[in-house]
Amino acid sequence: MYQQKGSMGARVGALLLDGLFLWIIWGLVLILIPDLFALLATFGAFLYYGIFEGSSMHATPGKRICGLIVVDEARQPISYGKSFLRAFGRGISGMILGIGYLIGFFDAEGRTLHDRIAGTFVANRQPAPVPYPQSAPQPERRQPVMQVNPQLIGVAGHFAGKSFPVRPQGILMGRDATACDFVFPDHAQGVSRNHCKVQFNPQTQMFVLYDLGSTYGTFLGNGVRVPQGQPMALRPGDEFYLAGRINLFRVAL
C-alpha cells in the first residue's frame, strides 16, 4: 500500500505544474470557445482536480509527473466521490487566504485542510517493497539452505516459451526501457510504461506481485485484478497477466 507521504517539494512542484496546465486550458478555451470561458473559469479547477484524481491515475498530471498519488485513509486509491469532495475542499482552503494549504507544512502526514475534509492523503506513487524478514541468528551447526532458482516464464504473447530469472531486487515490467528490467516492445497492447513488479521472498518461498498504477491493470490467472500498490502473494506455478491474457506469465522455482 502507499504508506510514504509525498514530500512538500514534490507537492509544490505538482501545484505549479497543474496551475500551468489550467492556464493553458483556459487560454485555449478563451481563443476557441470564448462563450464557455466564464463557466470554465468558475468551475474549471473543480472539474480538473475532481476528474483526474478520481480517474485510474488517481492524480492530476502535475502530481503524476512528480511521482504522487492521492489515496484514502486506508492508503488505497480514491473514488470519484472523494476526489470531488477533495476538489471542493480545495476551494475552501484557497478562500481562507490559503491557510488550508499551509496546514500541510505543519502536519506530520502533510495533510492539508482539503485532505482532512475528504479523508485523503498524498503519497509517493511507488509503493514500498515488501521487506524480507530478517534472519534470526543461527546456531553454529546450521541446516543446509535449499537452493532455489525463481523464474518468470512467458506463457503467451511476445515472450511465450522464454524464462527469466527473478533477481533479489525483483523485476520491474513495462515499456520504459530506461526504468524497467523486463521491457516490452512499444506496440505491446495495454502494457503501461511502468506496469508491475515481481519479487521473490526466499524465506517464504513465495513471489510478490505489485501493480504500479497501470492503466489497463494487472490480473491474477483467475481474472482477479491486483489493486494498485497492494502486494499480492503468488505461489510457484501461479499465473498472472498484464492487461490481457496475451501477456500471460507463470512464476516457478
Provide the pLDDT for residue 154: 92
Strand partners, 152: 164, 251
Q: Is 136 helix (H, G, I), strand (E, B) or coil?
A: coil
For 170-227, the pLDDT digits (tens) are 899 999 888 888 899 888 888 999 999 999 998 888 999 999 989 999 999 999 999 9
Provide the pLDDT for residue 199: 93
Provide the pLDDT for residue 104: 83
Find out whether 112 and 87 touch, Cβ atoms under 8 Å. no
CATH among 3.10.180.10, 2.60.200.20, 2.60.260.20, 3.40.50.10420 for 151-252: 2.60.200.20
For 94-152, the pLDDT digits (tens) are 888 888 888 888 888 888 998 999 999 898 887 655 555 555 666 666 655 557 889 99
For 172-188, the pLDDT digits (tens) are 999 988 888 889 988 88
**Mean per-residue pLDDT, 232-238:** 92
| Domain boundaries along the sequence of the chain | 8-124, 151-252
> Torsion angle of alpha carbons 241, 245, 247, 251, nearest 10°?
40
